[in-house]
Amino acid sequence: MSELRSIAAERDAADPLREMRDRFDLDDGVTYLDGNSLGALPRNVSARVADVIEREWGRLRIRSWAESGWWDAPQRVGDRLAPLLGAPPGTVVVGDSTSMNIFRALVAGLRMNPGRTEIVVDRTTFPTDGYIAQSVARLTGATIKPVAPDEIAPSENTAVVLLNHVDYRTGRRHDLPGLTASAQRAGARIVWDLSHSAGVMPIELERNNVDLAVGCTYKYLNGGPGAPAYFYVRSDLIAGLDQPLAGWCSHTDPFAMDPEYRPASGIAKARGGTPEILSLLALDAALDVWSDVDLAQVRQKALSLTEFFVRCVRELTSVECVTPLDENRGGQISLSCPNADKVMAELIARDVVGDFRPPDMLRFGFAPLYIRYADAVRAAEALAEVLR
């Protein structure tokens, strides 16, 4: 056995999270390093979804809105997600896509800061964040200032700052406590997109006084393809929240069919229309895997797995790693390599599944609940073989 393989075997044996992998439906022949795009299927989800379809929908039909708890599911699932975000109960609601929630958060942030007209956006952001910000600007008359996250200098005209906690391309983690404080010192509101950090590290939204946050649930939270996103509002901002997609489900008394809009009092006012029950309850079941997980161990394993993968890549290839090797990363390693699209296709043909982002980036996601050190060695060996 190679030295790297024996180190991996020792680390896997000593891994306090090693039994978590059994909670997922994974095939050992495939090295699945794309959980930063679509998380693996937790084993308990299929039975739960079948029950929702066959019994709750099939037999109870409309009674399920009350009897099966469908109506309150956006807040209830939000409360289940809250500990993973460092958020108190009653501050997170689940529904719609991340894009829709970015729209909600940006317009709500602008409305919290009347008179200010600038939206500062991470220049390297995932495209949807930038597109939605541009659309919000066109709609509201605000202007967009694209800035590298490290160089953000909010001005007295900055209403809201939109940043990604972990960059989708480079895997770099930005300084959430520091950047939140600097936006707020300038009187701006901050919105964090947590899509690439929730589920790989403790986030501590409340402790860091974050105003608003959004994120996907289909990556490290394993909610399934197109699973609904979440929206966090700091508890003291909920009463004054004026969100732009305030549909009937955010009304204080939806079934009064009141022609006049009167918002619900708690986080329910951040809801929109009818919740996506099938995917929302698949996410609900997927969150079961986190019930006894220590997020400090998750963080520790994400750092150690990614560090070990880079060590393997360096020993076996000369490919360049663009992800920071200090602690400023999440669960992803990005490698820059010529013909990265073709290299990734060859890796996938060898059952090592990561993904490619233009122009030259190979991305590998190390979801700490189910990826092993042995997977890191296997992926690096396959990469070396492809490059040879």
Ligand X SMILES: Cc1ncc(COP(=O)(O)O)c(C=O)c1O
Site string for ligand X, 132-171 (x = CB under 6 A): --------------------------------x---x---
Between CA 42 and CA 25 the distance in angstroms is 6
Coil vs helix vs strand at 138: helix
Between CA 348 and CA 327 the distance in angstroms is 29
- Residue 261 has a CB neighbour count (10 Å cut-off) of 11
| Active-site hit among 24, 103, 126, 308 | 126
Among 75, 195, 243, 250, interactor with ligand X by CB under 6 A? 195
**Minimum distance between the CB of residue 63 and ligand X, rounded to whole angstroms?**
31
Q: Is 150 a catalytic residue?
A: no
> Residue ranges of the alpha helices (H) in 127-264?
127-140, 176-185, 235-238
Shorter beta-carbon distance to ligand X: residue 169 or 372? 169
Q: In a 10 Å sphere around its CB, with 0-12 CB exposed, 13-18 middle and 19+ buried, how is residue 154 labelled?
A: buried
Q: Is 301 a catalytic residue?
A: no
Binders of ligand X: how many residues, by CB under 6 A? 13
| Active-site hit among 32, 168, 218, 370 | 218
Between CA 157 and CA 160 the distance in angstroms is 9
Site string for ligand X, 209-248 (x = CB under 6 A): -------x------------x-------------------
Distance of CA 113 to the CA centre of its chain: 26
**Minimum distance between the CB of residue 387 and ligand X, rounded to whole angstroms?**
27
Among 193, 276, 284, 355, interactor with ligand X by CB under 6 A? 193
- The secondary structure of 243-261 as a DSSP string is -TT--GGGBSSGGG--SS-
99 interacts with ligand X by CB under 6 A:
yes
128 interacts with ligand X by CB under 6 A:
yes
Amino acid at 314: R
Q: Is 269 a catalytic residue?
A: no
- Residue 40 has a CB neighbour count (10 Å cut-off) of 20
Between CA 375 and CA 355 the distance in angstroms is 15
Segment lying near ligand X (by CB under 6 A), choices 142-150, 193-201, 264-272, 351-359: 193-201
Shorter beta-carbon distance to ligand X: residue 20 or 210? 210
Among 64, 75, 98, 158, interactor with ligand X by CB under 6 A? 98
Least Cα distance to 270 among 131, 86, 121, 96 occurs for: 96
Shorter beta-carbon distance to ligand X: residue 276 or 375? 276
Interface residues with ligand X (CB under 6 A) are: 97-99, 126, 128-129, 164, 168, 193, 195-196, 216, 229
* Residues annotated catalytic, as ranges: 126, 193, 218-219, 363
